[in-house]
Chains A and B, each alone.
Chain A
Amino acid sequence: MPSAPLPDLSTAPASISSVSPPASVRNDGAASPGRLPGRSPQDLAAGLLIAAFGLGALWMGRNWPTGTLAAVESGFFPRMLGVLLVLFGTATAGRGLLAAGPGLSAWAWRPLIGVTVAVLAFAATLESLGLVAAVLLLVGLGNLAGQPLRPVPLLALGGALAFGCIALFVWGLGLPLQVWPPQVLP
């Protein structure tokens, strides 16, 4: 089932500054800025990305043995995929140059960076500082990805989530998770 981004059908107001207008609104009409007439930067970028993946695969697998058709070896399938990716990427990019289509919509840097950094921080601290610190860090940093909560509700949310995690994963499922930093409880 496709789960592509759907146009926002609701009447809910978009509120924070980093929110970009929906792609469909931005890309209507040939006169919109950031798009050359008769071309589709979105297809061009997609095609280049796909081709880059293909080239990367071909380069990494350049020395792998492909074997023969009767006895294929480990390099055969990756090379086939690499070639096909380059072909489809080039075709998509070519269509992006020639045929009209949607432009690139603005990026929501704040949610993207906020969520990514929060998850990476969780990964970095979970085993060294323990579950409680990692969850608090994850909630605190993740909070910056959206419309930040005020300190008191934020602390309450972080505390509730940390407690919930301990209850569910440590007490409930009995997982061997480090709960506190090793210095606090030996």
Chain B
Amino acid sequence: MMDLFGNLLLGLGISLSPGNLMLCFGGVLIGTLIGVLPGIGPTATVAMLLPLTFYLPPVGALIMLAGIFYGSQYGGSATAILVNLPGESSSVVTCLDGHAMARQGKAGVALATAALASLFAGIVTTLVIAVAGPPLAGVALAFGPAEYVSLMLLGLIGAVTLAHGSIMKAIAMILLGLLLSMVGTDVNSGETRFTFGLPQLYDGIDFVPLAMGLFGLTEIITSLEQTGGAGRTTAPISTLWPSRQDVRKAGPAAVRGTVLGTLLGILPGGGATLASFAAYSLEKKLSRRPDRFGRGAIEGVASPEAANNAAAQACFIPMLSLGIPPNAIMALMIGAMTIHGITPGPQIMAKQPELFWGMIASMLVGNVILVILNLPMIGLWVRLLKVPYGYLFPAILVFCCIGTYTLNNSTFNVVLMALFGILGYVLRKLDCEPAPLMLGFVLGPMLEENLGRALLLSGGDLTVFATRPISGSLLAACAILLALMVLPSVRRRRDEAFKED
């Protein structure tokens, strides 16, 4: 226990240093700024803002990225409440009661509730990460290649089950991501694969043009398609502070949401969406007057927002301690670490404690900054929402282009980004999700390496994955997840959970 506090103090010392505090503040501010823009979810925001962190020291870069992530998450909730437009599926539920409150003139209360519930969830989850991370990393140190293969499979299959839409298509997207990660020179044989003879591809596809194209450009194209560059109508804001009655209702709801979100968030697949939906239905079940939901019930804002934030942050646990990203945003984080020459995994905690604990402590700091920053600035975000998209998207476009170029000073990467923008749009039109693709892309090299190594160690014996105890149980978990998905009753309930209306 003392160890934990010592470590947290070490982390706080790092994250409260003036430079890092500024970065955290800047990240939260810019993240909220971009995240507030209609239709741009946290994944797209983090992808677009990645280049800002290229030139920072690794700790600072990760602190800033984490700040961008919370900011964009909160910005998305603000858009959901004010304009009834969710930036990502995890804030769909917030729209229901949040926007209903806004229409009753209680937009300020809804925004404040969302911020405070997220703050509470964020603090609790940060402590959970600090407690659960090290033991989990200890377990991970005992992992051999076979265990890693099974763990990655579990993560990928978890991502599929929690994605919405067709499971077959989601698996195909993972495979496509794995395939894209094969491009370049094979580390073992030195042979080039899928390079089309282009020397620019010998080092493989860079992660930034892929993420920017699939998420950034596709997002711009889709937003233009949906709104054509017109502005959105926003709800007016009057009172900001929740009344005492509001607090009495919202407080317990936020606690329940936090617990649910943390539990669901640790699961592979990163259940922020699932968590917010589950929290909403739990509140509705517990309420004595379920008919109020959908008409501005404050519990319907507090609980899903807390769950959403708790789950989103709990995703850091598998990412930091195992080096396995449970969802697309964590895949982006791992990509950012790789750019800075950090190999994510259990060894980070032992070898670079200042990085690990600095980042965890900065989550505490970031969540506090988020609330301090946002309560007075709600009016500004409302005004930002009125800026016509015709002015905003060229700015975003410029930022994406220069950001991608500066990664390697290569215009080839900009061309790649344009191509992935087209691919992303085509995939959206075919209802194939880009998030599993991103996961596959990040895990590809690790999966190939560990698969080859596990087979080498076992002399080509495929049963090794099932007979080693940890690996076997992970595979059994995969099988159970897949089997559950095929059961008609579970399928129906999953379809209901992801029904967006």
Contact = CB atoms under 8 A, between A and B. Distances in A.
Interface of A: 1-16, 18-20, 22, 42-43, 45-46, 49-50, 53-54, 57, 60-61, 64, 68-74, 76-78, 81-82, 84-85, 88-89, 91-92, 95, 102, 104-105, 107-108, 110-112, 114-116, 118-120, 122-124, 126-127, 131, 135, 138-139, 142-143, 145-149, 153, 157-158, 161, 165, 169, 173, 175-177
Interface stretch (B1-9, B84-92, B285-293, B369-377): B84-92
Interface stretch (B117-125, B135-143, B390-398, B468-476): B390-398
A120 B232 contact: no
A12 B394 contact: no
Contacts of A13: 230
Given A81-B175, A81-B179, A115-B397, 11 more contacts: A1-B328, A2-B435, A3-B41, A3-B434, A4-B164, A16-B229, A70-B459, A77-B178, A115-B421, A124-B411, A138-B394
B182 A2 contact: no
B411 A126 contact: yes
A112 B406 contact: no
B418 interface: yes
Nearest to B230: A15
Nearest to B73: A1
A68 B398 CA distance: 48
Name, among A1, A57, A71, the residue most crowded by chain B CB atoms within 10 Å (CB to CB). A1
For chain B, the bracket of interface size reads 35 or more
Interface in B206-238: 215, 217, 220-222, 224-233
Interface stretch (B19-27, B243-251, B360-368, B447-455): B447-455
A88 B83 contact: no
Given A118-B397, A142-B394, A146-B229, A1 B217 contact: no
A78 B327 contact: no
A3 B394 contact: no
Given A118-B397, A147-B230, A169-B406, A85 B172 contact: yes
A46 B452 CA distance: 31
Contact of A64 (B193, B395, B409, B456): B193
A124 B405 CA distance: 12
Contacts of A73: 188-189
A143 B228 CA distance: 11
Contact of A8 (B85, B89, B412): B85
Contact of B86 (A6, A71, A146, A175): A6
A145 B224 contact: yes
Nearest to B221: A111
B221 A112 contact: yes
A146 B460 contact: no
A69 B429 contact: no
B95 interface: yes
Contact of A143 (B327, B394, B400, B434): B394
